[in-house]
Structure 1
Amino acid sequence: MDNLKKLSPYFEKYKKLLVIGFTLIALSISLGMINPYISKMVIDESITKRKYNLLAPLLISMLLVSLIRGLIRYTHSYIFENVSQNILYDLRENLYKFLQRQTYEFYDKTRTGELMARMTGDLEGIRMFFSTAISLLVENILNFSISLTIMFLLNVKLTLALLLSTPLLLVLVYFFDKTIRPEFIKIREKYSKLNTATQENITGIRVVKAFSQEDFEIEKFSSANRDYKEQNITVGLIWGRFFPMIEAVTSLLVLIIFALGGFMVINKSITIGTLMAFQGYLWAIVWPLRSLGWIISMVERANASCERVFSLLYTPIKIKGKPTQYELKEGSVKFENVYFKHFGNIVLEDINFDIKPKMKVGIIGPTGSGKSSLVNLIPRFYDVSAGKVLVDGVDVREYDLKKLRSAISIIPQETFLFSDTIANNIAYGVENATFEDIVKAAKLAQAHDFIMEFPEGYETLVGERGIGLSGGQKQRIAIARALLKKPKILILDDATSAVDMETEYLIHQALEEYFKDCTVFIIAHRISMIKDCDVIFYLENGKIVEQGTHNELLAMRGKYYNIFVQQYKDIYSTQKEGD
């Protein structure tokens, strides 16, 4: 229940509505106590004493009470559903904002399917708690206590006899709660795994088909589906074991009423009308007792969901900006004795360089050498483990994150396009971008021509991840998106890997003029993309092992030279044959 207490700030703002809702429940329950007593009067006064003139008014009163009670029940049901939906909205908003503010590191270790499960299934469990469980719990408590009070007033002995079975029922409820609580937590975990398996398969379906792994993926999904099914069956078996016992104990109450009550009527200790009233109030007690298992299930499901949702919301956001006035205006970048560890592994070690504004920097090296990690430290997607990253002479940890990142454009290795028009994908992140600006950026990225080949041009809708476009086309739209931002620092992380040599050359030529207005970091595997840079860094095992201009590095005849020879060996072979 401690987890449910964490919801208190969310229903605080709806306190007045909840008070109205609970008041209406109390009024509804109070009205529900009237009809059994009227039925007693119908039998004892109107029928037994032959006061037939009372019959019609009494029956009309019962009808009016039922109608008014029905209207009140509708109103309080609406109030609790309204509150539950509003709380769910607030929770979902906070979760989404939290996810937007989280770091790269968080997403590196958190599965998407797990997050989706918490945003959907777990929130639905919390909604059920607010819309149904709370109102039903209050309703049952009031029903039980008021009915029991009236039954004591009608006949103490008969009421005490009914209470004899209550301790047994409480023991059953206690063990039911203790047994089912951990099982609901397991259900949420199994659901998350099932969600993850589904999400990963759909996202990676092209890889699955490329390697003919459909059967393997079906088996993996079936395993997760089977685990989820079996866990639900386990919960069903617990229900099946406890509910008949709860049902039997509550049925015992009915037996006591008719056995002992009938005996008391025969002895004229009570009237038939009193026995009938007892029967009416009995169901106001039996229903709360029978529904205890259902309420406990909803509460425990919500408790498990709260634990998972709030464990996510309480995850620290490790990278936070400062509300400072620093703004990135020039574009200088300086690394001072930078070390970077990721999940305990050393990724970058003792990195030092000083890049002046509007310089062009090339970064090359084998896969896993730390190239992407290095540039990811500039917009502070990760924090250094030691040392400093200075932008315009200011430690990036001193910047307001929004101001820092709004002045930096990065074209990542993996191109992602949203399910929207091409124009909106290019203009993403740039407010009030004009159509002329969008077209200009597309032309610089060599994307304008193929865009205009589509019937709807820039209004063409592209699917999730840019489905319907080739890899090169998606990459060029991503380049256009970065260029439209007009950044002070531009980072191209192997940004032309999916385009052919001719298109790469055209993009490079078009960007030459653009490069003059900002500092540029180019990660590439092709030397043709970085040979004109002001400085080139060769990374290996997280260290800068060579640095200099293209000609200086060739003169060293080291690792950079070896790559150059490998990439241009065909040209040299042709030249030698010509000689």
Structure 2
Amino acid sequence: MKKENNRSLRKLLKYSKKYLKYQKTPLILTPLLLLVSILSPFLIKYLIDDIIGNHEFSQILPFVILFTIVILSERLISFIVNYGYYKSTNLAARDEQIYMFKKILTIPIKEFSYNKIGDFMSRVLSDTLEVSFFLGAGISVITYNIIQLIVVSLVLLYLNWQLAVITFIMVPFYYFSLRAFDKNLQKSSELERIAYSDLTEELREKIEGLMPIKSFCKENFFSKQFSYISWIWVKKKNRLNMLNQSAEDFMSFIYELIPVLILGYGAYLILKGNATLGTLMGFYAYLGWIFTPIRNLSSFYIQMQRVRQVSERIFEIHDFPEENMREGKSFPNNDYPITYENVCFKYKDSTVLHDINLTIGTKEKVAIVGTSGAGKSSFVNLIPRFYEPATGKVMINGIDVKKYNLKQLRKNITIVRQDDYLFNMTVKENIMLDDEFTQEEFMKAVKKAKVDKFIGLLDEGYDTVVGERGSKLSDGQRQRVAIARALIREPKVLILDEATSGVDSQTEEEIFDELKEYEMTLIIISHRLSTIRKADKVILLKDGEIRGEGMHEELLKNAPIYKEIIESQLVV
């Protein structure tokens, strides 16, 4: 365990070197700050032994002016250095959040199925802040405190070696106090982060599910659930804070004990004639300077145990596999039949598709029909490689989709889903998504998708902000915007996964009539009989297997399961 902890800290320290670029000001000014700070005990010694001891009244005013300049200079440099630390820390947090957000965008979709969205949010927004000080200022702080410890030790030895030895004897107690709390701090920190992630996920889930909560008047029920999980986190956080505070207070006790010993032994040396009062006062004034870096390094060490736990969560995201969007074959221009060859697909530990063999011809219109849970969405998700088959191959024009350039593959194969996400932007921005299309192309897409039929009802027309997840639009309106977003890009393969379920039958009829003008392969998952009848071929899925393939009339005669689905589920 200890080796693993040290390895994690070394990894984090090595990684933090990338943020040295933000620490230039503190690194440059800390030696000057240390030099100015060193002057204080010598000035105190000079005041007591030389000015007061020799009754040099004329030197008091120059001494006060000089000491004031030294203190002012120290504070000014300290302000610049500490602000530099904060600035570097904030910049490191920003860079990490941006990097992790970009990283998440490259992670395969399946990783989101295995991990909680709230956990990702916690890592990006919360964990990065936890480690930001270490990343943005850690090396500078450690370096400065180590140098300060060495310099101060030399100064104390110079002032009085006997008092210095007493001081050094007490230093190991700091180390032992850290070791006493180390193990519990690590475990407590890990448990607190897990509890906080659970709390974040709970909040996200319940906010997104606000409609059914209100519909079934379950506010009290879910409030109790959230309160319980919040209380679990509070208990973990309280224990962590208790351990942290215990460690801090124990070291404070040692810190406050040392001056008592120094004053006592210093008085003895003065009475014996082995030291001057000025030496004792200068030593006493400077005593805190040796325990300041020790205390800083000790506190930093304690914080590092928590940072180590948090950094592992961050590095987990760093280490996630990325989709390769650049390499691969170009998507074919004219002939792109889709072939499933002995395809099986598993979601987690459950087999969803079994031994699928099928070919969808270029520009063919195919309807996928099946009961709920039959694997329809999984079937189409394999084509643009949102998921990978467990066995077998999905091919386009006889070539495994894995060999195609992924960016080209997804530009040419577009899926519009029942609840396609709309961003909190305008209608037009949701359709364009920062791509460059002409006004003519835009108007063509919105007319084909029948967005133009309702746009006049919105206050700002195409410039109306649709709200979070398109909350200002109806289900049917959101679906039409999503279809327009797909059509404007004119993909070679368009997949509509219940994409018109919220649209009235007449408008749906009009949309599918418009789609006839596009030269594309069309794959439709629908529960509307009028839509299915328009397909060149119907694929019947049940329990992850193809149970029938053919025209609607053929399946109605030859496939009892299909007839049962038609009679029980489909809408005319």
- TM-score tier, shorter chain, comes to over 0.9
2:424 to 402, 419, 422: 419
Partner of residue 529, structure 1:
531
Partner of residue 98, structure 1:
103
Partner of residue 222, structure 2:
217
1:189 to 174, 189, 194: 194
Paired residues for 1:239-258 under 5 Å: 239-258=244-263
Moved more, 383-392 or 324-333: 324-333
Partner of residue 448, structure 1:
452
- Report the alpha carbon displacement of residue 396 of structure 1 after superposing the two structures with TM: 0.5
Amino acid in structure 2 at the alignment position of 1:551: E
Moved more, 358-367 or 327-336: 327-336
The answer to whether structure 1 residue 459 and structure 2 residue 466 are counterparts is no
The answer to whether structure 1 residue 294 and structure 2 residue 296 are counterparts is no
- Residues 235, 15 of structure 1: CA spacing in aligned structure 2 closer, same or farther, 3 A cutoff? closer
Alignment length, in residue pairs?
A: 566
Partner of residue 438, structure 1:
442
Partner of residue 369, structure 1:
374
Partner of residue 553, structure 2:
551
Partner of residue 157, structure 2:
152
Aligned partner of residue 349 in structure 1, secondary structure: strand
Percent of pairs with identical residues:
33
- Report the alpha carbon displacement of residue 285 of structure 1 after superposing the two structures with TM: 2.2
In 1, the alpha carbon distance for the partners of 2:525 and 2:115 equals 27
1:208 to 213, 234, 237: 213
* TM-score, normalising length: structure 2: 0.93
Paired residues for 1:291-330 under 5 Å: 291=296, 294-317=299-322, 319-321=323-325, 323-330=327-334
- Report the alpha carbon displacement of residue 96 of structure 1 after superposing the two structures with TM: 1.2
Contact 1:133 1:298 in 2 (8 A): no
* TM-score, normalising length: structure 1: 0.92
Aligned partner of residue 233 in structure 2, secondary structure: helix
Paired residues for 1:19-418 under 5 Å: 21-131=26-136, 134-291=139-296, 294-317=299-322, 319-321=323-325, 323-330=327-334, 331-418=336-423
Amino acid in structure 2 at the alignment position of 1:438: F
Cα deviations by residue, 1:307-360 (Å, 9 ceiling, x for unpaired): 11001221234x545613422423321111211122122211121122221110
- Residues 324, 167 of structure 1: CA spacing in aligned structure 2 closer, same or farther, 3 A cutoff? closer
Cα deviations by residue, 1:392-445 (Å, 9 ceiling, x for unpaired): 33210001110110111211122211000011112237x212333222212212
In 1, the alpha carbon distance for the partners of 2:158 and 2:568 equals 99
Paired residues for 1:485-496 under 5 Å: 485-496=489-500
In 2, the alpha carbon distance for the partners of 1:235 and 1:563 equals 57
Contact 1:362 1:535 in 2 (8 A): yes
Aligned partner of residue 388 in structure 1, secondary structure: strand
Aligned partner of residue 164 in structure 1, secondary structure: helix
In 1, the alpha carbon distance for the partners of 2:384 and 2:445 equals 22
5+ residue gaps, structure 2, are 1-5
Amino acid in structure 2 at the alignment position of 1:467: S
Contact 1:40 1:276 in 2 (8 A): yes
Amino acid in structure 1 at the alignment position of 2:86: E
Aligned partner of residue 454 in structure 2, secondary structure: helix
Amino acid in structure 1 at the alignment position of 2:468: E
- Report the alpha carbon displacement of residue 258 of structure 1 after superposing the two structures with TM: 1.3
Aligned partner of residue 459 in structure 2, secondary structure: coil
In 2, the alpha carbon distance for the partners of 1:496 and 1:325 equals 33
Amino acid in structure 2 at the alignment position of 1:519: T
- Residues 22, 270 of structure 1: CA spacing in aligned structure 2 closer, same or farther, 3 A cutoff? same
- Report the alpha carbon displacement of residue 545 of structure 1 after superposing the two structures with TM: 0.7
In 1, the alpha carbon distance for the partners of 2:568 and 2:74 equals 86
Amino acid in structure 1 at the alignment position of 2:327: P
Aligned partner of residue 121 in structure 1, secondary structure: helix
Contact 1:334 1:352 in 2 (8 A): yes
- Residues 553, 120 of structure 1: CA spacing in aligned structure 2 closer, same or farther, 3 A cutoff? same
In 2, the alpha carbon distance for the partners of 1:84 and 1:568 equals 58
Moved more, 298-307 or 69-78: 69-78
- Report the alpha carbon displacement of residue 10 of structure 1 after superposing the two structures with TM: 4.8
Amino acid in structure 1 at the alignment position of 2:147: L
Amino acid in structure 2 at the alignment position of 1:476: R
Aligned partner of residue 521 in structure 1, secondary structure: strand
Contact 1:10 1:90 in 2 (8 A): no
In 1, the alpha carbon distance for the partners of 2:324 and 2:295 equals 51
- Residues 27, 130 of structure 1: CA spacing in aligned structure 2 closer, same or farther, 3 A cutoff? farther
Paired residues for 1:502-513 under 5 Å: 502-513=506-517
- Report the alpha carbon displacement of residue 537 of structure 1 after superposing the two structures with TM: 0.6
In 1, the alpha carbon distance for the partners of 2:51 and 2:484 equals 88
Amino acid in structure 2 at the alignment position of 1:443: K
In 2, the alpha carbon distance for the partners of 1:505 and 1:312 equals 45
Partner of residue 479, structure 1:
483
- Residues 559, 130 of structure 1: CA spacing in aligned structure 2 closer, same or farther, 3 A cutoff? closer
- Residues 495, 3 of structure 1: CA spacing in aligned structure 2 closer, same or farther, 3 A cutoff? same
In 2, the alpha carbon distance for the partners of 1:338 and 1:117 equals 37
Amino acid in structure 2 at the alignment position of 1:449: K
In 2, the alpha carbon distance for the partners of 1:82 and 1:127 equals 11
5+ residue gaps, structure 1, are 572-579
Cα deviations by residue, 1:56-86 (Å, 9 ceiling, x for unpaired): 3333322222222223223322333333333
Contact 1:321 1:398 in 2 (8 A): no
In 2, the alpha carbon distance for the partners of 1:129 and 1:221 equals 32
Cα deviations by residue, 1:123-166 (Å, 9 ceiling, x for unpaired): 00111224565544444333333222111112122221223322
Aligned partner of residue 340 in structure 2, secondary structure: strand
- Residues 152, 9 of structure 1: CA spacing in aligned structure 2 closer, same or farther, 3 A cutoff? closer
Moved more, 272-281 or 20-29: 20-29
Aligned partner of residue 517 in structure 2, secondary structure: helix
Moved more, 299-308 or 62-71: 62-71
